[in-house]
Amino acid sequence: MQTNQNNFNLKSFPILTKQKMAAFQHPQKTVASQYVAHKIAEKIREKQNVNQSCVLGLATGSSPVLVYKELIRLHHEKGLSFQNVVTFNLDEYCGLQKEDENSYHYFMNHQLFNHIDIPKENIHIPAGDLKEEEVQQFCLNYESLIEEHGGLDIQVLGIGRTGHIGFNEPGSGFDSVTRRVILDELTISDAANDFGGSENVPKQAITMGVKTILSAKKIFLMAWGAKKADILEESFCRPFSHDVPASFLQAHHNVELVLDNDAAFKMQ
């Protein structure tokens, strides 16, 4: 590897909640993203060496794009195989077909899956095109499938300005599992550009729950830019609250916050 793990300067700083959460901060999101990608690659190889699947929980949105880019590079240039990788995406908008350019299926295929050697049957993304009567069973099956695969080894997260992780909006329970949810107005307005106006943004989504996310063995939450600074402070520098679902991550034993300087500036 060109970039040695040791070149990454892991900086931990105490968070005001008294719950010390490991945080990696770097001025360039490219380098911070490489750090996450290399941790994922390490886990994939570790599992390959013992003939096991590596189960990844994946996110869409702008935050993980450079992680996926680095994983693709590692596949092409460093021989990283994804044959033993099983993925579960966090969420999908309701009412979108898989081919829709705004669907998370389309995003994942274009940003990652089309460029690596993951077996198609190992990819799981909540369906956006379910009939009303299919939703509940689909969600139950999604939870069971994760469990049958031995749980998530690594979960990759972004954070929404409402404090959502996945599409667990404020009010989501600590015990919530995969289900259909109503999107917050702020989340809809943040997605408006992609959809050519907030009136075109789906109002509902299917998302893994908070409990599903917290069941992962390791979690990386990434955030870039000053627009995430306030919600990061609310999530990780104050006691946890139902009003800020990301704050539930304080209860997890193995979370790393991966931030650029602008996102982190209120946390030091």
**How far is it, in rounded angstroms, from Cα 116 to Cα 62?**
19
Nearer to ligand F6R, 34 or 84 (CB): 34
**How far is it, in rounded angstroms, from Cα 211 to Cα 204?**
20
Token duo for residue 48:
């390959």
Count of all residues that appear for the chain in the document: 268
Contact (Cβ atoms closer than 8 angstroms) between residue 159 and residue 232: yes
267 belongs to the binding site for ligand F6R (CB under 6 A): no
Token duo for residue 19:
């719950």
202 belongs to the binding site for ligand F6R (CB under 6 A): no
166 belongs to the binding site for ligand F6R (CB under 6 A): yes
Token duo for residue 187:
């989340």
Active-site annotation holder among 42, 169, 199, 234: 169
Residues 139-158 that bind ligand F6R (CB under 6 A): 158
Would you call 255 helix, strand, or coil by DSSP?
Answer: strand
Letters for 41-80 (x = contact with ligand F6R by CB under 6 A, - = none) are: ------------------xxxxx-----------------
- 101 catalytic, yes or no? no
**How far is it, in rounded angstroms, from Cα 231 to Cα 61?**
17
170 belongs to the binding site for ligand F6R (CB under 6 A): no
Residue from 32, 125, 165, 232 that binds ligand F6R (CB under 6 A)? 165
Write out the residues near ligand F6R by the rule CB under 6 A: 59-63, 90-91, 158-160, 164-167
